[in-house]
Amino acid sequence: MASKKEQNGPDKRQFSTRLLHFGAEIDEATGASSVPIYQASTFHHHSLDNPPEFDYTRSGNPTRQALEDYIALLEGGARGFSFSSGMAAISTTFMLLSAGDHIICTEDVYGGTYRLLTSILPRMNIETTFVDMTDLEQVKAALKPNTKAVFLETPSNPTLKITDIGAVCEWAKSHDLLTMLDNTFMTPYHQRPIEHGVDIVLHSATKFLGGHSDLLAGLAVVANDSLGQRLKQLQNGMGTVLGVYDSWLLMRGMKTLQARMEASERSARKLAEWLVQEPGIEQVYYPGLLNHPGREIHEKQSLGYGAVVSFDVGSGERARQVLDKVTIPLVAVSLGAVESILSYPAMMSHAAMPREVRLERGIGDGLLRYSVGLEHIDDIISDLKQALR
């Protein structure tokens, strides 16, 4: 497993300390123990010759700035940006590209990203090739003269395939390609992609970072100031910013990230191990299982295995039976909350993906995705057992 020293980077404080002491935890003006919510759309110019740091909230707001500095610190990047949703973060970042450009992307990517890449960006003459990124040779073979970017998702959603971040980034840099990685499942607690060569890290902060199913947000962190200037221009120009109250609420949720992730991961590992032994389960997907094909690579680049377990019950009919009978998890879109969430990718997160494409990528009609929350693991297993049997 990657060492904590490697994950902590130049800051000597441990991750749990940085979650609480991130630079804006005490308001300098009043000593308040929480970042103030600056509920203002515009800011007074006391002097035209000396304009204020903030002038209009779309362009910048002190509350949102505190959040953006917070995620940059946690990811070890040069600059952070917050957006109105995870897809707003991803969509805005893809606007770094131009008409005629080509993207190489993880094949079993989140359905919303797939929708963007297949139904919206092609109208702007930006094309995408989807490959199995567990095989570096497939990534290399997808290179075209107009390739400009590589989009990674590891572990992938929902089959939890593992991509060797360092190997892909080393190859990408040799061809001057921009690398982007969706780090939603792992969060910066478990995985810090910039340390492995990634240029831009993306999050649906709606999930584990927020952690309470009560906000919609996206985050991006860039590895250098040059990219930061370009992404800032896009964030401001497109206006895809996060509101100030949600910025404050997200910071509140992030303070407990490590405690939540550790507890949920402990339960997720037990759930995965139980599912492997359960009759009628065709396949269990979890990086912490000894037989997971990407486990060794994952341990090289991550501190933990996460709190998402996917499993195939064999058919769509049986999947519906389970969804109808469980009583503990929310049956819902999304993941990463204090309460467990059981999702049906075929009709939820990956509904935008044609069935034949889903099946090619291992996202069958019987596949379920369990985001393990903070309930007692014995209750989670007992509930799932009765639903399966």
Q: Structural domain of residue 50, as residue ranges?
A: 4-254
Q: Does 295 score more than 50 pLDDT?
A: yes
Q: Does 51 score more than 90 pLDDT?
A: no
Edge-to-edge strand order for the sheet containing 178-182? 79-83, 218-222, 200-204, 178-182, 147-153, 102-106, 127-131
State whether 226 and 283 are in the same domain.
no
Q: State how beta strands 127-131 and 147-153 pair.
A: unpaired
Q: Does 325 score more than 70 pLDDT?
A: yes
Closest-CA residue to 76 (of 154, 124, 145, 5):
5
Q: Does 10 score more than 60 pLDDT?
A: no
State whether 94 and 233 are in the same domain.
yes
Average pLDDT, stretch 180-191?
98
State whether 153 and 280 are in the same domain.
no
State whether 285 and 235 are in the same domain.
no
pLDDT reported for residue 384: 98
State whether 201 and 247 are in the same domain.
yes
pLDDT reported for residue 2: 61
**Percentage of residues of the chain with pLDDT beyond 90:** 89
pLDDT reported for residue 5: 41
Closest-CA residue to 249 (of 73, 63, 79, 75):
63
| Catalytic positions, written as ranges | 58, 110, 182, 207
Q: Does 6 score more than 70 pLDDT?
A: no
**The total number of structural domains that make up the chain:** 2
How far from the centroid of its chain's Cα atoms is residue 55's Cα? 31
Edge-to-edge strand order for the sheet containing 341-343? 283-285, 308-312, 367-371, 341-343, 330-331
Pure H helices in the chain = 4-8, 15-20, 62-75, 86-94, 111-115, 136-141, 165-174, 187-190, 225-238, 244-254, 257-277, 295-301, 316-325, 355-360, 377-388
As a residue count, the chain comes to 389
Write the CATH number for 140.
Answer: 3.40.640.10
pLDDT digits (tens, 9 = 90+) for 124-140: 999 999 999 999 999 99
pLDDT reported for residue 389: 87
pLDDT digits (tens, 9 = 90+) for 255-282: 999 999 999 999 999 999 999 999 999 9
Average pLDDT, stretch 103-120?
94
Average pLDDT, stretch 350-372?
88
State whether 225 and 158 are in the same domain.
yes
> Cα 330–331–335 angle (5° rounding)?
70
pLDDT digits (tens, 9 = 90+) for 76-102: 999 999 999 999 999 999 999 999 999
71 contacts 79 by C-beta, under 8 angstroms: no
Q: Does 334 score more than 60 pLDDT?
A: yes
Residue type, 364: G
Q: Fill in the DSSP letter of residue 175.
A: T
pLDDT reported for residue 8: 44
148 contacts 385 by C-beta, under 8 angstroms: no
CA atoms within 13 A on the CB side of 86: 22
pLDDT digits (tens, 9 = 90+) for 203-233: 999 999 999 999 999 999 999 999 999 999 9
State whether 330 and 351 are in the same domain.
yes
Q: Does 152 score more than 70 pLDDT?
A: yes
State whether 301 and 249 are in the same domain.
no
Tokens of 26: 């005490």
pLDDT reported for residue 349: 76
State whether 238 and 300 are in the same domain.
no
State whether 83 and 212 are in the same domain.
yes
Q: SS3 of 18, please?
A: helix
How far apart are the C-alpha atoms of 216 and 242, rounded to whole Å?
A: 9
Average pLDDT, stretch 365-378?
97
The residue from 220, 254, 288 where one domain ends is: 254
The residue from 229, 254, 279 where one domain ends is: 254
Give the DSSP H/E element, type plus range, for residue 83.
strand 79-83
> Which range has the top average pLDDT, 106-115, 233-242, 341-350?
233-242
Q: Does 9 score more than 80 pLDDT?
A: no
List 80's β-bridge partners, or say none: 221
The residue from 223, 254, 285 where one domain ends is: 254
State whether 241 and 336 are in the same domain.
no
pLDDT reported for residue 4: 45
Q: State how beta strands 341-343 and 367-371 pair.
A: antiparallel
Q: pTM for the whole thing? A: 0.94
Write the CATH number for 315.
Answer: 3.90.1150.10
pLDDT reported for residue 359: 83
The residue behind tokens 């893809």 is 94
- 3-state DSSP helix/strand/coil percent for the chain, to nearest 5? 40, 15, 45
- Residue 1 pLDDT level (bands cut at 50, 70, 90): low
State whether 328 and 242 are in the same domain.
no
Mean pLDDT of the chain: 95
How far apart are the C-alpha atoms of 45 and 83, rounded to whole Å?
A: 26
